[in-house]
Structure 1
């Protein structure tokens, strides 16, 4: 999948990109890995963020559950754009410095610990 800056600026396209990258073979429950899920509306604060319910274990989750982006107050597109620009390997003079300061401040003052989803049980 080709990811470009144009698909990351719009909230809906950003969430669609995350869904495609996270679940290339279709959505599944982050708790029990079941593919038997149903859509349960959208988030009030981020209308592009889809909610789901697992028919197997009954747990509810959304597009960001179990990711490093879950539980933070910054919109998803801010995180994704920062990661995109960091991936360009820009020098400080080209704009990477403001993004690295933003990420450092956000991580240091975050109330929740950043962690990657568990791959090994």
Structure 2
């Protein structure tokens, strides 16, 4: 027996508090900070094209969502104030981010410490020629 993944019943952008509120039909309701959404963007720009190619995001504490577009009936695509707009957040991924915020924040802070960075460090300039590993 396959149980359907929870579906959203409401998605609200709270600009003043910088959180995306997502309510699901199983009763869960998450308030996901914009910064968390941005640093865990599912885009290739952030996740890379395979294990070990992730790009640690910094300087995103004050990022805003300036637009939120639906993607079919399965996701949303935010445009962030830093220009990032290539992440497509499925309902399942939003549920994952919302339900595991504490451990995701801890992992993010650990990766920052290991890199000798903090949340507010400026992002290094991207290499010219796209992602840097394409010819």
Tell me if both proteins adopt one fold, taking TM over 0.5 as the criterion: no
Greater share of residues in strand:
2
In the superposition, the TM-score normalised over structure 2's length comes to 0.28
Greater share of residues in helix:
1
In the superposition, the TM-score normalised over structure 1's length comes to 0.30
